Amino acid sequence: MEDILLYIIAALGISIVINIFLKKIGISQIIGYILTGTIIVYAFDLRDAGHSHELEMIADFGIVFLMFTIGLEISLEKMGHMKKDIFGNGLMQVAFTSVIVYLVAHYFFGLASQPSLIIALAFSLSSTAVVLSYLKASKEIYTSYGQSATGILIFQDIAVIPILILIGFLTNEGNESVLTILWHTLSSAVIVVGILLTVGKRIVAWLLHFSASSDLDELFMGSVLFIVVGASLFASAMGFTYSLGAFVAGMIIAETKYHHKVEADIAPFKDILLGTFFVVVGMKIDVTLFVEHIGIIIGFFFLVLFVKMTIIFLLLRLSSNSANSLKTAMLLSQIGEFSFVIFALAASGGIIEEDLASLLVLIVIFSMIVTPFFIGKVSAFVDSFIKEKDIVTDMSALAERENHVVVCGYSVVGKFVTKYLEDLDASFVVIDNSNKHVKEALNDGIECYLGDASKSSIVEALHVEKAAAIIVTLDNITKKRLICETILKVAKNANLIVKVVSLEEKEQLADLDITTIVDGKVEVARVLVERMITCQLNYK
């Protein structure tokens, strides 16, 4: 027991010192956690501990809580809107990447069919932990390429389930047919999703309501932990990954009014456990084997990087512009953490030789170490490298503009706002982060610019401090709040007019110094009564 406490204290101390140093030079703390794991292993001779099942179980719950917070961001309704990214781009990415890697592994490197298939499927996955942690921290998860990357990552996490089932089939010594296994899987999936979305939804709503009404923060936090862990264990008991249960639980809570409070309360647990996951990753590094095969590891890493980046770029280019396609491709070009599980199961089942599995694990670890160094520079690099000619991004013409109206968003409401502004002959510009919406505005003869209004540089370029008003028409409450915070930071006395669709949204913006909040439902009710009065007057 004393030894375990010593290891924990040492890991905490080493990770704190390393991450403080890395923070000062702008390097991701993920690197610090991985280095901590490697140092602990060699300092205390714990090479066998890195493969401890109990420690890996604890580390896996870092991914569980990450997937839970992702579920909080993606309600069932939003998932329906993202079906193109999830089930379209995600499916094609996994399928095409798997096929190409399989052909290379089987025909070029001469590996047998089964090992080639497992390697292909594992390499088709990207790192949910690294990419989504960055996207959420940088707020780029709300950009168009951030949404594309998120959708593909969600499909990849779902794809882990049939991959693990396939490994079970390949190592299965019984006489069960593929159809039988698929039938059991499908029936289990229906049961899991059905119970979680019906019975589970009622239990979650009831539990959160009564724990929140108790005014005891620890009781509410305990209820959230019970929901996350309970849903994860239930999914695991049905033969699925812990992450799937946590993801569905997050989606359920996203439909309730408590999702913002839950996300804030769960963040420390997610970050600590996610750090534990990367410490365990570092503990798996065999430095001797890494040094001996450094050339092979780096070569395979860049080969996978090139293959995945090319495939993702070409697929997304069919429906998006070059800049967003390349940003998404670069974000997802690394190998994911679920590959550890795949290679471990494949090795234990005799599908892949132990030596090959160890080498593959080192390639994955090298990928996860390198990724944080360049992932934060992807957007700036692509923007400087690719200049979209069909989209207006140069806002220098606004330098002398005064008393203009800035309209944030050119979706349905934004289009009506610009129509009424045109009727008033008012001077206005539109800012939107959607390539599609900007093209529509330009085709309609509207002065529109492509940019993220939650970024200070964009808001400053719009000269909101000289604007007569800024109208925010977006639907996403999180994005809406980020835009309002940025505008008020740049122009404290800005005449800010924001559309909301519910009392909950209004409450979430109440702490900001917004000039006018327009409740869509209240305005509809007012118009209905006015029309009723008009009808009565006409009738008389």
Instruction: Walk along the chain (540 residues) and give the pLDDT tens digit of each residue.
Output: 456 777 778 888 888 888 888 777 766 677 788 888 888 888 877 766 655 666 667 667 777 777 787 777 666 666 666 778 888 888 999 999 999 999 999 898 888 888 898 999 999 999 887 888 788 777 677 677 888 888 898 888 778 777 877 776 777 645 555 566 556 666 766 777 777 777 777 888 788 888 877 777 788 888 888 888 888 888 877 766 677 788 788 888 887 777 777 877 777 776 777 777 778 777 877 788 888 889 988 998 999 999 999 999 999 888 777 888 888 999 999 898 788 778 877 887 788 887 888 888 888 888 878 888 888 888 888 877 776 544 566 677 677 788 889 999 998 899 999 999 988 888 899 999 888 888 888 888 888 888 888 888 888 888 888 899 999 998 888 888 889 989 998 888 889 999 888 888 888 888 888 889 888 888 888 888 877 777 655 555
Residue 471: strand pairing partners: 407, 497
Q: How far apart are CA 85 and CA 312, in angstroms?
A: 12
Express the helix, strand and coil content of the chain in percent, nearest 5 each. 75, 5, 20
Give the pLDDT confidence score for residue 472 in this predicted structure. Answer: 93
3-state secondary structure of 466: helix
Q: How far apart are CA 67 and CA 387, in angstroms?
A: 34
Give the pLDDT confidence score for residue 389 in this predicted structure. Answer: 47
Helix locations, 284-391, DSSP H: 287-292, 294-317, 322-331, 338-348, 354-375, 378-385
Q: How far apart are CA 108 and CA 102, in angstroms?
A: 10
Torsion of CA 89, 155, 268, 256, to 10 degrees: 90
Q: Which of 78, 63, 76 is nearest to 478 (CA)?
A: 78
The CA-atom distances, in angstroms, between 256 and each of 192, 208, 312, 500 are 20, 9, 35, 17
Task: Evaluate whether 309 touches 101 at the Cβ level (below 8 Å).
Answer: no
Order of strands across the sheet that contains 469-472:
448-450, 428-432, 405-408, 469-472, 496-500, 516-519
Task: Evaluate whether 286 touches 358 at the Cβ level (below 8 Å).
Answer: yes
Q: Token pair for residue 516?
A: 């006018």
Give the pLDDT confidence score for residue 405 in this predicted structure. Answer: 92
**Which residue in the block uniquely carries the two structure tokens 């996207």?**
135
What is the set of domains in the chain, with CATH numbers? 10-35+53-385 (1.20.1530.20), 396-539 (3.40.50.720)
3-state secondary structure of 469: strand
